Amino acid sequence: MLDIKFLRENPEIVKENIKKKFQDQKLPLVDEVIELDKELRDYRAKGDSLRAERNSTSTQIGGLMKEKKIEEANQMKQRVNDINKELEEVEVKETELAEEIKKKMMVIPNIIDSSVPIGKDDSENVENERFGEPVVPPFEVPYHADIMDRLNGIDKESSGRTSGNGFYYLMGDVARIHSAMISYARDFMISKGFTYCIPPFMIRGDVVDGVMSFAEMEAMMYKIEGEDLFLIGTSEHSMIGKFKGQIINEAELPLTLTSYSPCFRKEVGSHGIEERGVYRVHQFEKQEMVVLCKPEDSMEWYNKMWSFTVEFFRSLDIPVRTLECCSGDLADLKVKSCDVEAWSPRQQKYFEVGSCSTLGDAQARRLGIRAKGKDGNYLVHTLNNTVLATPRGLIAFLENNVNEDGSVNIPVALRPYMGGQEKVFPKK
**Least confident segment among 118-122, 259-263, 424-428:** 424-428
Q: What are phi and psi of 88, to 5 degrees?
A: -60, -45
Contact assessment for residue 413 and residue 187, using Cβ atoms and an 8 Å cutoff: no
Predicted TM-score of the model (pTM): 0.91
Taking residues 372-384, report their average pLDDT. 96
pLDDT above 60 (res 270): no
The top-level CATH class assigned to 4-105 is: mainly alpha
Q: What percent of the chain has pLDDT over 90?
A: 86
Beta bridge partners of 258: 196, 289
According to DSSP, the residues that pair with 247 across neighbouring strands are 370
Judged by phi (left if over 0) then psi (alpha if -120 to 50, else beta), residue 57 lies in alpha
- SS3 per-residue string spanning 267-288: CCCCCCCCCCCCCCCCEEEEEE
In degrees and rounded to multiples of 5, residue 75 shows phi and psi of -65, -40
Q: CA torsion sign, 116 to 29 to 360 to 240? A: negative
Domain 122-424 has CATH 3.30.930.10: yes
Q: What is the mean pLDDT of residues 192-208?
A: 96
Instruction: For helices 27-66 and 11-20, give the axis angle rounded to 10 degrees.
Output: 150
Tell me the sheet residues that pair with 351.
342
Q: What burial letters (b/e) apply to 366-379, b meaning 16+ CB within 10 Å?
A: bbebbbeeeeeeeb
Q: Which residue has the higher pLDDT, 407 or 56?
A: 407
Residues 211-263 have pLDDT tens digits of 987 777 777 899 999 999 999 999 999 999 999 999 999 999 999 999 999 99
Contact 212, 331 (CB under 8 A): yes
- Kindly report, residue by residue over 57-85, the tens digit of the pLDDT: 888 887 888 888 888 888 888 988 999 99
* Residue spans per domain, the chain: 4-105, 122-424
What pLDDT digit, counting tens, does each position of 276-321 carry?
Answer: 789 989 999 999 999 999 999 999 999 999 999 999 999 999 999 9
